[in-house]
């Protein structure tokens, strides 16, 4: 059976840290959607690792790491990331890439950047994610199996590339010439073939086999539920299914293979890029969260928008994902506050609602004020009982509002700064 970890907010909840601390209990760690738009920062001792495509299980030596078919891969970004862990030789047998995963090519990235110059920009990471998924859905994308077969099928692949780039050039949206874009794509495919081929395989069969042997599998979501292509704040979303349902499509496992779902949420909210964010605080509170929480993107370095906890968005996301339990992250960032505002309802079309509407931009938050624990600290606390009384009350109120038990509480960036409640294995 497989367990699943998903982001409950707008991404950057701290999924990487939780995967990292739980990895010891698993044999396989699987990424199943998104691409190098994702960014997980993991702190181990005095070393800080930035992961974008490689599953967070890479830091646990016995774990096998899988980049599933639902992921979109920019080869040079992956190769660069592999270097942090000793490069190809060190990773053989520990990292596998689905032969069905789609490949991000240079024109996807240029297209993403060009579209972001338009008035209706999304605030994307400009990594080519949306354009690559567009090609996947349009059934004209290139996959990792094409990377592996590149020398044998060179002519037909180049013909496909030329056709795609020609169509894009006709819309006058790309600055580089057709020749430049095709040549850059060929170079990318050539180096990808040389370096990545030994890692490319049928990861669906690999996972089925692992499952048959009773191996323990952990699926690692990227981004957050509020960025889901269907259920998020469309169009200000990413281009994949970020909720639990995407884990099967993106890995080849079946819904009945999923044993449990752990949702990850911060004790407050953040978002990068444009789009509705009801509890965003452009004043002192938001600035304090940003500074204390070091809320800057791992991938783009952008300053994250910050605000109070949105219980409606979290409850909505927990229902979408079927969360069994929650890990609450960055509780310590709220240390020092006299009181903490939590969104418990929205004002929407002249009335008070307690659901998430499809046009969230028209909702304004209604807050409940909870007492803070100024003068006491949760930083680095490792047992629930040792938390300040009001911090425990805050956690209890979030559980009540969201409707799911909080099983883990993170009180700092370090692996060890974590509280386990109930049974910690999800
Ligand atoms: P894209 O995924 O680059 O197309 O960006 C679409 C939206 O998702 C933008 O608002 C991005 O800022 C946001 N986004 C993408 N990946 C992440 C992530 O890992 N964390 C937080 N936001 C993300």
**130, HSE (Cβ side, Cα atoms, 13 Å):** 20
Domain 102-198 has CATH 3.20.20.60: no
* CB-CB contact of 235 with 122 (8 Å): yes
Judged against a pLDDT cut of 80, whether residue 187 lies above it is answered with yes
Ligand 1: centre distance to CA 116 (Å): 13
**Greatest pairwise CA separation for the chain in angstroms:** 68
pTM assigned to the model:
0.96
> Is the C-beta atom of 127 inside 6 A of ligand 1?
yes
Judged against a pLDDT cut of 60, whether residue 424 lies above it is answered with no
The two three-digit tokens of residue 415, written as one number: 């692996």
pLDDT tens per residue, range 253-307? 999 999 999 999 999 999 999 999 999 999 999 999 999 999 998 778 889 999 9
φ, ψ at 309 (rounded to 5°): -65, 130
Q: What is the pLDDT of residue 300?
A: 81
Question: Rounded to an integer, what distance in angstroms lies between the CA atom of residue 402 and that of residue 365?
Answer: 16
Pocket mutation for ligand 1, best pick of 41, 110, 121, 125 (most atoms within 8 Å of C-beta): 125
Residue with CA closest to ligand 1 atom 2: 238
Ligand 1: centre distance to CA 413 (Å): 22
* CB-CB contact of 104 with 128 (8 Å): yes
Q: What is the pLDDT of residue 123?
A: 93
Residue spans of beta strands (DSSP E) within 40-91? 40-44, 47-51, 64-67, 72-73
* CB-CB contact of 323 with 6 (8 Å): yes
> Is the C-beta atom of 276 inside 6 A of ligand 1?
no
> Is the C-beta atom of 251 inside 6 A of ligand 1?
no
pLDDT tens per residue, range 391-409? 999 999 999 999 999 999 9
Judged against a pLDDT cut of 80, whether residue 35 lies above it is answered with yes
Which residue ranges does the chain devote to CATH 1.10.300.10?
Answer: 102-198
Q: What ligand 1 atom has the least distance to the C-alpha of 130?
A: 4
Question: Rounded to an integer, what distance in angstroms lies between the CA atom of residue 287 and that of residue 270?
Answer: 11
**Helices 106-116, 178-196: inter-axial angle, 10-degree rounding:** 130
Question: Rounded to an integer, what distance in angstroms lies between the CA atom of residue 117 and that of residue 112?
Answer: 9
* CB-CB contact of 187 with 161 (8 Å): no
Which residue ranges does the chain devote to CATH 3.90.170.10?
Answer: 2-72+205-420
Q: Nearest 5 degrees, angle CA 228-CA 264-CA 76?
A: 60
17-to-50, 120, 128 alpha-carbon distances in Å: 11, 34, 26
Ligand 1: centre distance to CA 122 (Å): 9
Ligand 1: centre distance to CA 384 (Å): 33
Catalytic residues: 12, 40, 136
> Is the C-beta atom of 122 inside 6 A of ligand 1?
yes
> Is the C-beta atom of 65 inside 6 A of ligand 1?
no
Q: What is the pLDDT of residue 93?
A: 95
pLDDT tens per residue, range 132-148? 999 999 999 999 999 99
The two three-digit tokens of residue 257, written as one number: 């293979």
On whether 14 is known to bind a ligand per the annotation, the reply is yes
Give the burial string for 351-373 (b: 16+ CB within 10 Å, else e).
eeeeebeeebeebebbeeebebb
The two three-digit tokens of residue 34, written as one number: 């998104």
Question: Rounded to an integer, what distance in angstroms lies between the CA atom of residue 240 and that of residue 7?
Answer: 13
Judged against a pLDDT cut of 90, whether residue 411 lies above it is answered with yes
User: 2.40.50.140, 3.30.365.10, 3.90.170.10, 2.70.98.50: which CATH number matches 2-72+205-420?
Assistant: 3.90.170.10
């Amino acid at each position: 059976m497989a367990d699943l970890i998903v982001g409950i907010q707008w991404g950057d909840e701290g999924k990487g840290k939780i995967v990292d601390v739980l990895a010891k209990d698993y044999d396989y760690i699987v990424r199943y959607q998104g691409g190098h738009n994702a960014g997980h920062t993991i702190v181990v001792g005095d070393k800080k690792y930035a992961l974008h495509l490689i599953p967070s299980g890479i830091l646990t030596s016995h774990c096998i790491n899988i980049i599933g078919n639902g992921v979109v891969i920019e080869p040079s970004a992956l190769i660069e990331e592999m270097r942090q862990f000793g490069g190809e030789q060190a990773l053989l047998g520990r990292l596998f890439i689905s032969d069905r995963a789609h490949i991000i090519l240079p024109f996807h990235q240029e297209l993403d950047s060009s579209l972001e110059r338009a008035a209706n920009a999304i605030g994307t990471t400009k990594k080519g994610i949306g354009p690559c998924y567009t090609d996947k859905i349009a059934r004209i994308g290139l996959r990792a199996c094409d990377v592996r077969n590149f020398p044998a099928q060179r002519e037909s692949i180049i013909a496909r590339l030329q056709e795609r780039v020609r169509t894009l050039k006709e819309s006058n949206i790309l600055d580089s010439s057709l020749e430049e874009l095709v040549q850059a794509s060929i170079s990318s495919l050539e180096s990808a073939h040389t370096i990545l081929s030994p890692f490319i395989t049928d990861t669906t069969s690999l996972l089925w086999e692992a499952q048959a042997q009773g191996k323990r599998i952990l699926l690692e979501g990227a981004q957050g539920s509020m960025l889901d292509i269907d259920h998020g704040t469309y169009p200000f979303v990413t281009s994949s299914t970020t909720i639990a349902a995407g884990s099967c499509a993106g890995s080849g496992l079946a819904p009945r293979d999923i044993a449990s779902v752990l949702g990850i949420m911060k004790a407050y909210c953040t978002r990068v890029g444009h789009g509705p964010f009801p509890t965003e605080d452009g004043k002192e509170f938001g600035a304090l969260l940003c500074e204390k929480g070091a809320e800057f993107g791992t991938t783009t370095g952008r300053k994250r928008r910050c605000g109070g906890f949105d219980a409606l968005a979290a409850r909505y996301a927990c229902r979408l994902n079927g969360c069994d339990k929650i890990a609450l992250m960055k509780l310590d960032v709220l240390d020092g506050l006299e009181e903490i505002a939590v969104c418990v309802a929205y004002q929407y079309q002249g009335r008070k609602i307690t659901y998430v509407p499809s046009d969230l931009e028209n909702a304004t938050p209604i807050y409940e004020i909870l007492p803070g624990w100024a003068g006491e600290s949760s930083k680095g606390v490792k047992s629930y009982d040792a938390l300040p009384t009001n911090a425990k009350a805050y956690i209890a109120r979030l559980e009540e509002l969201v409707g799911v038990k909080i099983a883990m509480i993170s009180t700092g960036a370090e692996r060890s700064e974590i509280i386990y409640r109930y049974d910690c294995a999800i």
